[in-house]
């Protein structure tokens, strides 16, 4: 462990040490205590049994709950992380879920660190049983903690440390960096009141047409995914954060977004055992705290009429529980997603998921309807109360492991000494720098020569809503090479505008093309518009020197296969834009390797090394 990171850990433990509280319950004790609860003495991947006091708390809590309250513990609705004044309509909705419906936890979305912490402290004081707080921080705290911009000025509002997508870690192949990412995530998440990350993604991205996993996966190799995810889990656990492997039984070989419809997996059991299951088995071996299921139909095992694995006793209980011996909390994916809601509606799948073996029903359409539906199922005999008790016991055990028996609040005064501090951003910058991958360079264009007379046309392709795409990258390139002309295109660019851009390209010595295309919920595809692809391919076929940089999906090369140079930065955050710009200029070494293959000619592990040539 680096000395700097040691300092960060010590500072976090000090910042979260017990402090006088004006309201009960008390502030959560330091991270060191939480870590001791989670780490086994001989095997850092194994969970120690609960203490006798924790076991008593779990059983006494179950005994104190009514049937309706027990079912409430299995419901986790979605909540925004934004500021909401006490008494406001936004706050009141969540307060009712916590105080009246007695939900077991909340799933927080995007918000600023202090807004997160203040909101969670207030809600925790109103909960009869401490709330288990989860967030989709799969590739780091910055994924949910801010990193938003004020409009129209685009003034950055700050937030958690922003990392590239985890496929960038795949390109580094570094367990050390994966562990450090987990540590930063754990430190910042616990500082603002989050106990459980919905990550790491354990899906093996074996299908280039996958519209929703893509760079969210570490790569296409089961061994690579298992190895890096294991380090991520251990790093997060060392700072007291629980983790969730997703999306079981594996979402990597799909070509449909489960937010929209029900994807299918055609592989048989042998295929799943060799490709999709290994990372989940490895994570269970690491003692992962939770697993999230996928709304995917595994027709290769359950036949052409297979329903979502979330509702399958075969996958949830027989394979995950009985074969893999997973004993942690089993979450459904969001129950409003098209992959389950289109076929079964809003309430029936809630009963089916619990019957299949799920513990927590994530983001049902209506909290109250969900609770009443499950209460009715127990009273009618479709579900037994003992089945409910088993899931409640797992949820309460997770809360005990998070230290919530002793305290549930966080220190608001410590947040700005923990979240997005320089020691953390340095780690994110190292991940971005070491991930840059030069997949091909037929004309040896990379790094750019320092000829300031060369005319460069820098074209940024991005969604119209992505206002920061290209800003950091183009600023660095233009500062070093002043004859760089930036231009931007998107799905709205007209034929007339492409004609004008074509004239600019003709008069330029080099095209630098930056494509910001990443997996997005409900988009159904990850690719570029045909007009843009044809424009780039036309110039590539003409022999024009072109460097294409993908700030997102690595598979874009298939849209313009004749380009001379193809560089991968994996994500479009400013940290990746800066890393890519400095690499293209030769101010940083390039040594990333493909964690996926790019048909027809670039294989897994390919990558061209370039030495640093200047500063």
Reading phi first (left if > 0) and then psi (alpha if -120 to 50, else beta), residue 403 is in left
Show the beta-strand stretches assigned E in 411-554: 437-441, 456-462, 484-489, 510-516, 546-550
Domain ranges within the chain, ordered by starting residue: 3-417, 436-584
For residue 486, what are the β-bridge partners?
458
Render pLDDT for 329-375 as a digit per residue (tens, 0 to 9): 999 998 988 768 778 877 899 999 999 999 999 999 999 999 999 99
**Closest listed residue to residue 288, CA positions, set 297, 296, 279, 276:** 279
Listed as ranges, residues in the chain with pLDDT below 50 are: 1-45, 522
Contact (CB, 8 A) for 335 and 295: no
Average pLDDT, the chain: 88
Q: Is the peptide bond before 249 cis (omega within 30 degrees of 0)?
A: yes
Chain centre distance of CA 415 = 22
Q: Is the peptide bond before 108 cis (omega within 30 degrees of 0)?
A: no
Residue 197 DSSP label = E
| pTM (two decimals) | 0.90
* DSSP letters spanning 84-129: --TTSHHHHHHHIIIIIS--SEEEE-SB-HHHHHHHHHHHHHT-SS
> Catalytic residue at 333?
yes
Q: Which residue has the tokens 């800003």?
A: 471
> Catalytic residue at 325?
no
Q: Is the peptide bond before 600 cis (omega within 30 degrees of 0)?
A: yes
Render pLDDT for 448-481 as a digit per residue (tens, 0 to 9): 977 778 899 999 999 998 989 999 999 999 999 9
**Closest listed residue to residue 36, CA positions, set 21, 54, 19, 15:** 54
Residue among 333, 359, 411, 420 flagged as catalytic = 333
Q: Any idea which architecture 3-417 has in CATH?
A: Alpha-Beta Barrel (3.20)
Residues contacting 436, CB < 8 A, separation 6+: 171, 567, 568, 569, 579, 580, 583, 588, 590, 592
Q: Any idea which architecture 436-584 has in CATH?
A: 3-Layer(aba) Sandwich (3.40)
Residue among 247, 251, 259, 424 flagged as catalytic = 259
Which tokens hold the place of 75?
């419901």
- Report the run of H or E that residue 171 belongs to, with start and end: helix 166-172
Give the β-pairing of 361-362 and 297-298: unpaired
Say how far apart CA 426 and CA 437 lie, in whole Å.
19
């Amino acid at each position: 462990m680096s000395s700097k990171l040691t300092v960060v850990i010590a500072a976090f433990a000090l910042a979260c040490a017990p402090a006088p509280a004006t309201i009960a319950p008390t502030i959560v004790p330091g991270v060191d205590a939480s870590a001791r609860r989670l780490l086994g003495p001989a095997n850092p991947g194994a969970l120690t049994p609960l203490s006798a006091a924790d076991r008593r708390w779990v059983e006494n809590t179950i005994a104190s709950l009514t049937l309706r309250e027990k079912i409430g513990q299995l419901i986790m609705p979605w909540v925004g992380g934004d500021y909401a004044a006490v008494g406001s309509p936004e706050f009141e909705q969540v307060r009712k879920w916590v105080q009246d419906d007695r939900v077991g936890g909340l799933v927080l979305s995007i918000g600023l660190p202090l807004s997160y912490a203040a909101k969670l402290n207030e809600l925790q004081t109103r909960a009869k049983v401490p709330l288990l707080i989860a967030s989709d921080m799969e590739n780091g705290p910055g994924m949910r903690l801010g990193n938003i911009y004020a409009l129209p000025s685009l003034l950055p509002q700050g937030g958690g440390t922003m990392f590239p997508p985890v496929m960038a870690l795949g390109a580094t192949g570094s367990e050390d960096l994966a562990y450090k990412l987990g540590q930063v995530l754990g430190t910042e998440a616990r500082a603002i009141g989050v106990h459980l990350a919905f990550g790491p993604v354990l899906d093996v991205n074996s299908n280039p047409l996958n519209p929703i996993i893509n760079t969210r996966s570490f790569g296409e190799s089961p061994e690579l995914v298992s190895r890096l995810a294991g380090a991520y889990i251990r790093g997060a656990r060392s700072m007291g954060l629980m983790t969730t492997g997703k999306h079981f039984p594996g979402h990597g070989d799909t070509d449909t977004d489960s937010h929209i419809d029900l994807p299918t997996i055609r592989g048989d059991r042998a295929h799943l055992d060799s490709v999709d299951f290994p990372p989940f088995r490895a994570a269970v071996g690491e003692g992962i705290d939770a697993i999230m299921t996928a709304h995917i139909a595994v027709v290769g095992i359950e036949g052409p009429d297979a329903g979502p694995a979330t509702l399958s006793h075969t996958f949830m209980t027989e394979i995950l529980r009985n074969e893999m011996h997973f004993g942690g909390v089993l979450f459904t994916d969001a129950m409003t997603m098209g992959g389950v809601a289109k076929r079964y509606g809003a309430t029936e799948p809630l009963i089916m998921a619990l019957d299949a073996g799920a513990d927590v029903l994530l983001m049902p359409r209506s909290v109250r309807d969900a609770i009443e539906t499950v209460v009715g199922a127990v009273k009618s005999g479709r579900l037994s109360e003992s089945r409910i008790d088993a899931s409640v016991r797992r949820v309460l055990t997770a809360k005990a492991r998070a230290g919530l028996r002793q305290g549930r609040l966080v220190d608001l005064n410590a947040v700005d000494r923990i979240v997005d501090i320089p020691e953390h951003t340095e780690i994110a910058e190292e991940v971005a720098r070491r991930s840059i991958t030069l997949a091909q360079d037929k004309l040896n264009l990379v790094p750019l020569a320092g000829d300031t007379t060369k005319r460069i046309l820098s074209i940024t392709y991005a969604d119209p809503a992505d206002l920061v795409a290209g800003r950091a990258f183009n600023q660095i390139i233009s500062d070093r090479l002043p004859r760089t002309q930036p231009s931007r295109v998107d799905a709205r660019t007209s034929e007339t505008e492409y004609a004008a851009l074509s004239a600019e390209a003709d008069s330029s010595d080099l095209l630098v093309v930056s494509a910001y295309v990443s997996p997005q919920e409900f988009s159904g595809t990850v690719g570029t518009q045909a007009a843009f692809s044809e424009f780039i391919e036309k110039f590539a076929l003409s022999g024009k020197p072109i460097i294409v940089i993908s700030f997102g999906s690595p598979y874009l090369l298939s849209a313009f296969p004749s380009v001379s140079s193809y560089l991968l930065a994996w994500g479009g955050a400013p940290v990746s834009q800066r890393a890519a710009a400095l690499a293209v200029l030769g101010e940083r070494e390039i040594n990333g390797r493909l964690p996926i293959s790019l048909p027809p000619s670039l294989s897994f592990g390919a990558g061209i090394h370039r030495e640093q040539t200047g500063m």
